[in-house]
């Protein structure tokens, strides 16, 4: 498995620009590219310069920024397109052509033999130009497997640096992706890139399966934005790999994920989903008393991602009927209130009763706690007699 040395090709500025709400000005593109570079992605993929005059200028501008990340642009498999791409000064050109019968019939009309012939001209030219060359087959998952391998083996022999598997319609399952990439790994010497759409929610799992099978590069975009409902999200891929071993993603500046997600969400006018990997507002919140108690004792009980590693903090929700007295005790301590365990338990019962009627805000819970501020005598007893830390003995109800 190539998890130890995988690279991210972030395509927010190519695939992401295909998201229905995306319209990026040059300045905004430069901001995204600079943030991605600071985060540490190895590659930044840019919209083809053939799309429009401004796309060509933007491609040139970003390729000229002198970023640490390599810049790539994306083109059809056509000599005139790749010449324009090379001229922008990018470090690499990502060539793509459809291989499924759908795309061969309804898109470009070429047979597999014709695809290989066109690829030959394009790749031969690119290899004289001191750029990284990637060749990918659009709609790989609905292509005939033998056709695919024939194309990959041919372009591999021509000397491309990377071949790309593209699940263009998000139809693949992790097992299918694994098998396809595993077989490809045995057949080609080039690096292998995976690009997966998220139509059925498998984009992260599929990218991970590709890595397990020997892929070396994964395409992502910030928040997963792209055509339709998008592709593998950058944060989701990072979360998935981190969960195997945080050291595998320590090469990235993880606290910048939140800034990237926030910046892109504002630019494309969508909220960060509540359940987003790492940066969703509920990603590190705990509610049930049993969870809260255990997390307060040791966060690893219910957290596989450490919020601190992403510059974030956890939140224990206490204003609910599911709360427990350890969580209420923790809040009282945070507020510097001296309350003994008997009082904390009484307040917990009150919180549960009130929360049975309506939702409680943190302010309302804080008010209840403050009203019960112990007398001096009780406070002394609390200091001396009752441990302030979370107890492990008595079980919470929920
Ligand atoms: C698209 C093209 C692409 C290309 C992927 C790649 C896809 O349909 O817009 O270059 O590997 O999903 O097939 O994004
Ligand atoms: Cu795509």
Verify that 70 and 157 share a domain, yes or no: yes
Buried b (16+ CB within 10 A) or exposed e, 114-131: ebbebbeebbeebeeeeb
Verify that 215 and 352 share a domain, yes or no: no
Verify that 259 and 298 share a domain, yes or no: no
Q: In this structure, is residue 133 part of a structural domain?
A: yes
The whole-number pLDDT of residue 35 equals 98
Overall domain count for the chain: 2
Assess whether the C-beta atom of 16 lies below 6 angstroms from ligand 1. Answer: no
Q: Which of 9, 138, 142, 216 gets mutated to test ligand 1 (max ligand atoms within 8 A of its CB)?
A: 138
The whole-number pLDDT of residue 385 equals 56
Q: In this structure, is residue 396 part of a structural domain?
A: no
Verify that 315 and 260 share a domain, yes or no: no
Q: In this structure, is residue 164 part of a structural domain?
A: yes
Q: In this structure, is residue 278 part of a structural domain?
A: no
Q: In this structure, is residue 272 part of a structural domain?
A: no
Verify that 238 and 322 share a domain, yes or no: no
Contact 263, 252 (CB under 8 A): no
Q: In this structure, is residue 292 part of a structural domain?
A: yes
- Ligand 1 mean position to 3 CA, how many Å? 23
The whole-number pLDDT of residue 39 equals 98
pTM here is 0.92
Residues 355 and 349: their CA atoms lie apart, in Å, by 10
Going by CA atoms, what residue is nearest to atom 4 of ligand 1? 138
The whole-number pLDDT of residue 109 equals 84
Verify that 100 and 172 share a domain, yes or no: yes
Q: Where does a domain end: 232, 267, 302?
A: 267
Assess whether the C-beta atom of 70 lies below 6 angstroms from ligand 1. Answer: no
* Interior angle at CA 304, CA 334 and CA 278, nearest 5: 75
Q: In this structure, is residue 256 part of a structural domain?
A: yes
Q: Which ligand does the CA of 45 lie closest to? A: 1
The whole-number pLDDT of residue 352 equals 96
- Ligand 2 mean position to 161 CA, how many Å? 20
Nearest atom in ligand 1 to 14's CA: 14
Q: Which of 195, 215, 221, 231 gets mutated to test ligand 1 (max ligand atoms within 8 A of its CB)?
A: 195
Mean pLDDT by 10 residues, the chain (398 residues): 89 98 98 98 98 98 98 97 98 96 82 94 97 97 94 98 98 98 98 98 98 98 98 98 98 98 98 97 94 94 97 95 95 92 96 95 93 63 54 66
Verify that 75 and 182 share a domain, yes or no: yes
Sign for the CA dihedral angle at 317, 320, 323, 327 comes to: positive
- Ligand 2 mean position to 28 CA, how many Å? 21
Q: In this structure, is residue 390 part of a structural domain?
A: no
Instruction: At 70, list the tokens.
Output: 């390599």
Q: Which ligand does the CA of 226 lie closest to? A: 2
DSSP state of 85: H
Verify that 330 and 251 share a domain, yes or no: no
Active site residue 291: yes
Buried b (16+ CB within 10 A) or exposed e, 252-287: bebebbbebbebbbebbeeebbeebbbbbeebbebb
DSSP state of 305: S
Verify that 138 and 261 share a domain, yes or no: yes
The whole-number pLDDT of residue 381 equals 62
The whole-number pLDDT of residue 305 equals 98
Residue owning tokens 């109800």: 397
Residues 300 and 101: their CA atoms lie apart, in Å, by 49
Q: Where does a domain end: 267, 298, 330?
A: 267
Show the domain range for 345. 285-383
Verify that 133 and 166 share a domain, yes or no: yes
Residues 6+ apart with CB under 8 A from 133: 92, 93, 95, 123, 126, 127, 159, 160, 161, 162
For residue 58, what is the domain's CATH number?
3.20.20.70
Q: Which of 11, 13, 14, 15 gets mutated to test ligand 1 (max ligand atoms within 8 A of its CB)?
A: 15
- The active-site residue out of 195, 197, 217, 291 is 291
Verify that 222 and 306 share a domain, yes or no: no
Nearest atom in ligand 1 to 98's CA: 13
Q: Residue 28, class by beta-carbon neighbours within 10 Å (0-12 exposed, 13-18 middle, 19+ buried)?
A: middle
β-pair partners for 10: 44, 220
Of residues 188, 243, 234, the one with CA closest to residue 214: 188
Assess whether the C-beta atom of 164 lies below 6 angstroms from ligand 1. Answer: yes
The whole-number pLDDT of residue 260 equals 98
Nearest atom in ligand 1 to 136's CA: 11
Verify that 253 and 369 share a domain, yes or no: no
The whole-number pLDDT of residue 392 equals 57
């Amino acid at each position: 498995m190539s998890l130890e040395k995988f690279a991210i090709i972030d395509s927010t500025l190519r695939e992401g620009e295909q998201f229905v709400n995306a319209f990026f000005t040059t300045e905004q593109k430069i901001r995204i590219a600079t943030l991605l570079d600071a985060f540490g992605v190895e590659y930044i993929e840019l919209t083809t310069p053939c799309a429009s005059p401004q796309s060509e200028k933007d491609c040139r501008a970003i390729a000229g920024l002198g970023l640490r990340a390599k810049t790539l642009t994306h083109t059809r498999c056509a000599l005139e397109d790749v010449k324009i791409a090379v001229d922008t000064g990018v470090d690499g050109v990502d060539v793509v052509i459809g291989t499924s019968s759908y795309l061969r019939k309804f898109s470009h009309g070429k047979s597999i033999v014709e695809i290989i012939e066109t690829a030959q001209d394009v790749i031969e030219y690119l290899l004289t130009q001191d750029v990284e060359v990637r060749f990918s087959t659009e709609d790989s998952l609905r292509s005939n497997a033998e056709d695919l391998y024939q194309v990959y083996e041919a372009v591999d022999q021509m000397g491309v640096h990377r071949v790309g598997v593209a699940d263009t319609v998000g139809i693949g399952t992790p097992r299918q992706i694994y098998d396809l990439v595993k077989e490809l790994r045995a057949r080609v010497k080039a690096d292998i890139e995976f690009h997966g759409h998220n139509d059925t929610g498998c984009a992260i799992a599929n990218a991970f399966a590709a890595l397990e099978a020997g892929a070396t590069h994964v395409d992502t975009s910030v928040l997963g934005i792209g055509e339709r409902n998008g592709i593998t999200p950058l944060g989701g891929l990072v979360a998935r790999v981190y969960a195997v071993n945080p050291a595998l993603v320590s090469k990235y500046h993880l606290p910048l994920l939140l800034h990237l997600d926030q910046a892109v969400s504002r630019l494309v006018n969508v909220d960060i989903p509540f359940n987003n990997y790492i940066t969703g507002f509920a990603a590190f919140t705990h509610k049930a008393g049993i969870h809260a108690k255990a997390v307060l004792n040791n966060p690893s009980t219910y957290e596989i991602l450490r919020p601190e590693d992403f510059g974030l903090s956890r939140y224990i929700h206490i204003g609910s009927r599911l709360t427990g007295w350890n969580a209420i005790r923790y809040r009282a301590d945070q507020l510097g209130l001296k309350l003994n365990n008997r009082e904390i338990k009484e307040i917990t019962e009150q919180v549960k009763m009130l929360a049975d009627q309506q939702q409680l805000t943190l302010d309302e819970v804080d008010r209840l706690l403050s009203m019960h501020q112990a007398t001096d005598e009780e406070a002394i007893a609390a200091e001396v007699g009752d441990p302030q830390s979370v107890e492990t003995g008595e079980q919470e109800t929920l």
